[in-house]
Structure 1
Amino acid sequence: MPGSVSFVACWFVTSICFPPIGPSSTLLASGSSCGGVFETRSNQQSDENVWYDRAFAFHEGARILGHHKGDIRVFLFNAAFSIELLLKAINAANGKATQLSHNLLDLAKDAEIPFSDNQNATLELLNEILIWKGRYPTPTKPGRWDNFYDNVLEKHIIRQRNGKVGITRTNPTTVPTIENFEVLWDIANQKWSEIQTDKYKIE
Structure 2
Amino acid sequence: MKIAVLAVQGAFAEHEQMLEELGVEHFEIRRKEDLDRNFDGLILPGGESTVQGKLLKELDLYEELKKRIEGGLPVFGTCAGLILLAGELSNDTGVGFGTLPVVVRRNAYGRQLGSFTVEEEVRGVGKIPMVFIRAPYIEEAFEGAEVIAATGGNIVGVRCGNQVGISFHPEVTGNTDMHRYFVEMVRESIS
Q: Which one scores higher on RCO, CA 8 angstroms, separation ≥ 6?
A: 2
TM-score tier by shorter-chain length is: under 0.3
Structure number having the greater strand percentage: 2
Which structure's CA Rg is the greater one? 1
Please identify which structure carries the higher helix content: 1
TM-score (norm. length: structure 2): 0.24
